[in-house]
Chain A
Amino acid sequence: MSQESRDDITRLLHDWAGGDQAALARLVEAVYPELRRIAARQFRGERPGHTLQPTALINEAYLRLARQHPGKEWQDRTHFFAVAARVVRAVLVDHARARQAVKRGSGDASVELTLVNASVAPTPVDVLDLDTALQALEAMDPDQVRIVELRYFAGLSIDETAEAIGTSPSSVMRGWLTAKTYIRRHLDGDIARL
């Protein structure tokens, strides 16, 4: 990681801890190239067909970041789950795009992140469509997007999600039901008309 991106990450981490929610997205963007390098390095040493657990990948990436940018911001559950859930979303979207590119014959199969393993369930929802729906929801209610990420991409319960974002379980429940129903409509092509 270059010195420049290292300074960037420290600054973003600071902004985020200071309450700038948009800094989270930029933080994950800044972190993601490093994550891909870690994945590629781990794949190189493996036998063909060997798969990498995304959980292990995320842990590895997170630990590196926490060590490169020491600070108490990293050392709590709230920040871990917020970053990790967003990274899982990015990894799955990346994976789906790569798979699509390989199918079309234009992709480089070697960059594909392999996610086939027991800790990732086959998704009944198209990840790319889901991502589009989340981007649309982000403009109306970023908190509802955080809730979906924590629930769907990290597997947190309603209570755990409430703890992670510092709100009440009932408010998480309200946001969750609304957000997932909005996503459902988005996937069905029944998008907000206003």
Chain B
Amino acid sequence: MNSEQWARVTALFHEACACPPAERERWLANHCSDPAIHGEVEAMLRAYETNPEFMEQPVAELPRDVESLLGVREIAVGQRIGAFDLVSELGRGGMGEVFAAVRADGHYDQQVALKLVRAGYATAGVVERFRAER
């Protein structure tokens, strides 16, 4: 089937789907005179009706926060994370960044190195290594 024929099948199939199931066949007979296209759309309707939910559950989900992933919205010095103000950047890698930070909630003075994991990297293994490093 070539692209033009497929475009025709796509349009007819979609419009036929919008009809109540009992009327689909008659609608199609009235709107398509090419027997080859007609047969193709009929086969499409039969396949669709067996399971309209087919493939509706995606096999993988990707993170939506693309901007932070790509570093468009970087975490930067001066920003506050929890109780800490970021003072300077100590390092960065594929998984995230490390900042020197100071406690900013006024409870007590504390200097820390704050290691931040990028969205999508907080796997069980990474979290485990994080705890072990602490």
Contacts and interface: CB of A to CB of B under 8 A. Distances in A.
Interface of A: 46, 50, 52-56, 58-60, 62-64, 66, 74-77, 80-81, 84-85, 88, 92, 117, 119-121, 123-125, 127, 140-141, 144, 148, 151-156, 160, 173-175, 177-178, 180-185, 188, 190, 192-194
B6 interface: yes
B121 A194 contact: no
B47 interface: yes
Contacts of A121: 57-60
A153 B36 contact: no
The 8 nearest A-B residue pairs measured at CB: A155-B61, A155-B58, A140-B6, A194-B1, A174-B14, A178-B10, A154-B62, A180-B55
B69 A184 contact: no
Nearest to B72: A75
Given A92-B59, A174-B10, A180-B55, A80 B70 contact: yes
B120 A177 contact: no
B82 interface: no
Contact of B58 (A54, A127, A153, A181): A153
Chain A binding site: helix, strand, loop or mixed by DSSP? helix
B42 to A, nearest CB: 11
Interface residues of B, number: 45
Contacts of B121: 56, 59
B70 A66 contact: yes
A193 B40 CA distance: 8
A78 to B, nearest CB: 10
A193 B51 CA distance: 22
Given A77-B66, A184-B55, 6 more contacts: A121-B59, A140-B1, A155-B61, A173-B14, A184-B51, A194-B40
